[in-house]
Every structure is written in C-alpha cells, then in structure tokens.
C-alpha cells in the first residue's frame, strides 16, 4: 500500500489514528468535510461522501482506503441515509472506478446490538441492528461483500466496539478497542495477501467479550491491550449510571433502549 486514503479524518477515530498511520504510510491522504487540525494542503482533500465527484477525486491514485467517514452516531433517517448509505455506496463505487485494491469498512457492534449479553456470537450470525445507524452498518457490510465478490476488491468489515485509551463502563469491558490494536487491524485489512471479504470484530483482549474473533486471529491479529487492566475504573464509572433494563440486557446498550417501544416481555 503506497497511497492510503482515510475518510472521516476529522472524527475521533481518525484523529487518534492519523499520527500512527503517517509513520507507516508516508503518502497517507486524509479526507473529510472539514480539515483536521494540522493537515497540510498536500495531505488533505475535502470530500463530501454524498457527492460522488468529490469522492472519486479523493480516490485518484489510491491503493487502499480506511473508511471511517459518515454519521458516527444514531440520527434521523435522512442523516443516516445520506451519509451512511448513499455515502457508503459512493465510496465503494468510486473506489471501483479508480482501481482501489483494498477497503476497510468501519462497521459497528450496533449491527448486532440486539443480541443478549449472555450470548457469545461469531461473525457469521444474522444481523440484529439496534438502530438506524446499525442498519446502515449492515448495509455497508453487504455492500462490501458485493464489491469483493463481483469486483475483486479486498474488503474487511470491522465491527468496532468502542475505541479509546481505556474502557469507560461495564459494557465497554466487553467491547473495548485500544487505538494500537485498531491500527493492527487496519494493517491486516490493507496488507494481508489473503484478504478477500472478511468480517472482524474490533476489540482488544477483553476477557468479558461477547464475540468470537477467531476470524481476525487467523489473519495474525494479536491484541496488545487488556480491558481487565482498567476494571476498577470502568466499574466505578458504571456505578454512576442509572439502571437501564433494556440497554443493560443487550449488547448494544443504550442504542437498544433508545426509542424502545416493545413490551417488557419482548426482552429476551
């Protein structure tokens, strides 16, 4: 990978990854609707995902893409549809027309958020999205599969848990992803010779995990950071939060309980 494009570069994940990626990919190109702090004219291109021509221009001469762009939380249908569905399609189609070889698609745990926390799941389960945002991530995984199988792009869909320097509550002890471990997963997606169409979970070494991430391990993933090293902090923060009978039952947390209108008997 000589030239790598990262969309969503002005967001939280993009900001954390940029200095680490630059040390590996000197020709890293950043993209967003606003310029990240410190980005030079030569290392940044403005691209609105909803505008195909802008996305296609950003993909010129690119070998691999880290697609972190889009609406990163729950939103209205119009917000999700334009940024995460139409924008995702524009990204994959522009990549195809420009001959991009690899794409990492930032999926989310919210694509499978309605699985109970008592259930241990792999990557091949039926999607159970917990929000309109989660639905858009299911769409992105399906789109990635299409472009991998039909057009030969190596696609990795990464169901990210929660990225940060430490887990912030009880739930995140199960889904936490340290930036160093995320970088390792990005490199596998861009560089491993056998990537075709893969789904990985974006999680560090979490002893309380709900996910079987053996697919990532088969490709050499070896997380360096342990959630349990931050257990006391996470549990102390959890004690400050109100009880949430729906969110505390499902893996998706508050994304499940927000706008929830089914009866209590439907929680299973």
Task: Give mean pLDDT, residues 133-148.
Answer: 98
Q: Which of 133, 82, 106 is nearest to 14 (CA)?
A: 106
Q: Count of CB atoms within 10 A of residue 219's CB?
A: 16
Helices and strands (H, E) in the chain, number of each type = 10, 9
Query: What does the alpha-carbon distance between residue 35 and residue 170 come to, in Å, rounded to a whole number?
Result: 35
Task: Give mean pLDDT, residues 64-87.
Answer: 97
Could you report the per-residue pLDDT of 114-127, keeping only the tens digit for each?
999 999 999 999 99
268 pLDDT higher than 90:
no
Q: Catalytic residue at 201?
A: no
Of the candidates 115, 133, 221, 260, the residue annotated as catalytic is: 133
- What pLDDT is recorded for position 40? 76
Cα 122–chain centre separation: 16
Cα 45–chain centre separation: 21
265 pLDDT higher than 70:
no
Query: How confident is the prediction for the chain on average, in pLDDT?
Result: 96
143-174 burial, b for 16+ CB within 10 Å, e for fewer? bbbebbeeeebbbbbbbbbbbbeebbbbbbbb
Query: What does the alpha-carbon distance between residue 94 and residue 75 come to, in Å, rounded to a whole number?
Result: 25
Task: Give mean pLDDT, residues 184-199.
Answer: 98
Residue 71's pLDDT band (cuts 50, 70, 90): very high
**What is the Cα Rg of the chain in Å?**
18
Q: Count of CB atoms within 10 A of residue 224's CB?
A: 10
- What pLDDT is recorded for position 12? 95
Q: Please, what are the domains in the chain?
A: 4-266 (3.40.50.720)
**DSSP label of 200:** E
Q: Is 211 helix (H, G, I), strand (E, B) or coil?
A: strand
The larger pLDDT score, comparing residue 39 to residue 143, is at: 143
41 pLDDT higher than 90:
no
Q: Would you mind telling me the total number of residues written for the chain in this entry?
A: 268
């Amino acid at each position: 990978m000589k030239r790598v494009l990262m969309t969503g570069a002005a967001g939280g994940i993009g900001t954390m990854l940029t200095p680490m990626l630059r040390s590996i990919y000197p020709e890293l190109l950043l993209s967003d609707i606003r310029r990240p702090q410190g980005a030079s004219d030569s290392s940044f291109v403005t691209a609105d995902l909803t505008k195909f021509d802008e996305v296609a221009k950003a993909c010129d001469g690119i070998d691999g893409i880290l697609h972190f762009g889009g609406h990163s939380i729950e939103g209205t249908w119009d917000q999700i549809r334009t940024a995460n569905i139409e924008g995702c399609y524009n990204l994959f189609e522009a990549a195809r027309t420009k001959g991009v070889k690899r794409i990492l698609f930032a999926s989310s745990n919210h694509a499978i958020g309605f699985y109970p926390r008592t259930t241990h799941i792999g990557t091949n389960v039926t999607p159970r999205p917990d929000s309109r945002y989660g639905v858009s991530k299911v769409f992105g995984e399906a789109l990635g599969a299409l472009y991998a199988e039909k057009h030969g792009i190596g696609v990795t869909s990464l169901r990210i848990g929660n990225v940060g320097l430490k887990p912030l509550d009880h739930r995140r002890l199960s889904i936490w992803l340290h930036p160093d471990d995320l970088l390792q997963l990005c490199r596998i997606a861009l560089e491993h010779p056998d990537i075709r169409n893969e789904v990985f979970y974006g999680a560090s070494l979490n002893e309380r995990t709900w996910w079987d991430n053996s697919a990532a391990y088969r490709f050499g993933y070896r997380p360096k950071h342990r959630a349990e090293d931050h257990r006391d902090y996470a549990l102390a923060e959890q004690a400050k939060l109100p009880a949430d009978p729906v969110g505390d039952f499902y893996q998706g947390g508050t994304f499940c309980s927000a706008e929830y209108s089914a009866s209590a008997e439907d929680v299973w």
